[in-house]
Amino acid sequence: MQQLDRAVILAAGLGTRLRWLTHDQPKALIDVAGAPAIVHVIRRLAAQGVRYIAVNVHYHADNLIKMLGDGSRLGVRLYFSREKKLLDSGGGVRQALDLLPGEGLLAVHNADVLADMDIQALAGACPEGGACLSLVPNPAHHPTGDFSLRDGLISISPDGDSRYTFAGVSVWEQSAFNAWVSGQSFPLTKAIQYLVDINCCVGILHDGFWFDMGRPRDLMQARRWIHALER
C-alpha cells in the first residue's frame, strides 16, 4: 500500500453560521480548546504521516497564512492556494493540487471537521483512480444523509435507513480530478458522482469521534471533548 503523505485542507469558506466568531477571521482559526481548529486538523494529519499540505484560502486569507506560516512548527510543509473567487469544494481541491509535490494519493479534509479518522486506512481502501469517503451516522441536523453504502461502494440514490452523512474527510487518487481544469469552480459531489458512475468510489463507516464545527452546538461539543482528552 502506498503511504499517503499529502493532503488538501479546505479552509476557504465564509463561516456564515458562526458569524459572531468569524467577522474578522476565517472559520479555520476559531479557537477550540486553546488552538485554532485547523491546527488540530494539521496535527492529526501529521501524526499519521502526512507531510505536505495545501490549504485553500479566501476569506481573511492573510490572517490564516500569517498564523500558520510554513508549517514547520507543526511538522509539515504548508502551501497556500489563494482563491480570488470561491471555487467550491471540488474546484478548491483541484487548484490546490497544483502546489503539492508528488503524485498519487492525497487526503482531503475540511478545516472545520475534528475527528479521529484513520487516514492510512482510507488510503488502503482507495480504489485505483478513485476515492474512499469516510461516512458517519446521520447527525440531528442532517437526518436524511448524503450517500448509501452498498457492499462497500458509495451510491447516491436514496436507500432509506442505509444512508449516511459524508464526514468531510476522504482520500483520493489525484487522477480522479483530471477531468477538471485548475481554476474551475465545481462541488466535490460532482467528482464523487463521476466516480460513483464508474464504480470507483468506496466508503468506510466511521464509529469514532466526529465534530462538524459549522454549527455552535458542535463547536461546543468539540471544545468539551478536547478538554476532556487533555485532563
pLDDT by position in tens, the chain (length 231)? 568 999 999 999 855 555 545 556 788 998 888 899 999 999 999 999 999 999 999 988 999 999 999 999 999 999 999 999 999 999 999 999 999 999 999 999 999 999 999 999 999 999 999 999 999 999 888 888 999 998 999 998 765 558 999 999 999 999 999 999 999 999 999 999 999 999 999 999 999 989 887 777 777 777 777 766 655
Say what the pLDDT of residue 152 is. Answer: 94
Instruction: For residues 114 and 16, give the distance between their C-alpha atoms in angstroms, rounded to a whole number.
Output: 19
pLDDT at 149 (0 to 100)? 92
Taking each continuous run of H as one helix and of E as one strand, the counts in the chain are: 7, 13
Whole-number pLDDT of residue 230: 55
Query: Going by CATH, does the domain composed of 6-229 fall within 3.50.50.60?
Result: no
pLDDT of amino acid 23: 57
Q: In the prediction, which pLDDT does 226 show? A: 74
Angle of helix 37-47 relative to helix 61-68, nearest 10 degrees?
50
pTM of the model: 0.92
Residue 113, SS3? strand
User: Which pLDDT score is estimated for 20?
Assistant: 43
Strands (E), 70-209: 77-82, 105-110, 113-115, 131-136, 147-150, 153-155, 163-173, 201-205
